[in-house]
């Protein structure tokens, strides 16, 4: 019996991947960090997942060249603010590139925090220490050892899929 020949095919395009992944709903967060000197940085991020419970580790993917990634790598720390269903305006603001975004939301700088805590918009927050990074294409995969979890309120999470923000309850009502 002979081995099947390996066939090489051209890679899918970025647009094709974006279209496919738009059909896969995911939670929405704002990843935040402080630059040296204390200036807050942050961006909307749906590329977050749990990697391990021992040690507690999260993975996130940030665009190369973003000021938020620079702050994360520069200080070695970040916060993952998991947004609740009422935080759609904040998700849109932090996706917009508005340089004054931290002037438009409530946030706190707590001792030992990995980054700004978006207290009005997050249902929970994880403060992390960078444990590993890997550059891949136009993004950097960042692994973060979770140092502290701050639950804020029992509100449903904000989701993103089909190029729309929706609340968990919105999905239940549509069924």
- pLDDT at residue 4 in the model: 64
CB 125 within 8 A of CB 149: yes
Nearest to 29 by CA among 93, 84, 83: 83
Question: pLDDT value at position 16?
Answer: 85
**56-72 burial, b for 16+ CB within 10 Å, e for fewer?**
ebbbbbbeeebebbebb
**pLDDT for the residue 174:** 47
Q: What integer pLDDT is reported at residue 2 of this predicted model? A: 64
d(C-alpha 21, C-alpha 13), whole Å: 12
pTM for this model (two decimals): 0.87
Give the model's pLDDT for residue 15.
86
Domains (ranges, CATH) in the chain? 27-174 (2.30.110.10)
8 A C-beta contact, residue 90 and residue 30: yes
pLDDT along the chain (175 residues), means of 10: 69 84 87 94 94 96 95 97 95 94 96 95 97 95 96 86 79 46
């Amino acid at each position: 019996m002979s081995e099947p020949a390996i066939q090489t095919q051209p890679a899918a395009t970025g647009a094709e991947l974006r279209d496919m992944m738009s059909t896969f709903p995911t939670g929405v967060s704002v990843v935040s960090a402080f630059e040296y000197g204390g200036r807050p940085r942050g961006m909307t991020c749906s590329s977050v997942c749990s990697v391990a419970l021992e040690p507690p580790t999260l993975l996130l993917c940030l665009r190369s060249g973003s000021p938020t990634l620079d702050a994360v790598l520069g200080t070695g720390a970040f916060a993952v603010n998991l947004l609740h269903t009422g935080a759609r305006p904040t998700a849109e603001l932090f996706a917009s590139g508005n340089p004054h975004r931290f002037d438009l939301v409530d946030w706190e700088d707590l001792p030992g925090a990995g980054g700004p805590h978006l207290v009005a918009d997050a249902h929970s927050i994880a403060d992390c220490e960078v444990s590993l990074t890997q550059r891949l294409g136009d993004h950097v995969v960042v692994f973060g050892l979770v140092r502290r979890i701050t639950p804020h309120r029992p509100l449903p999470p904000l989701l993103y899929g089909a190029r729309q923000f929706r609340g968990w309850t919105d999905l239940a009502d549509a069924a």
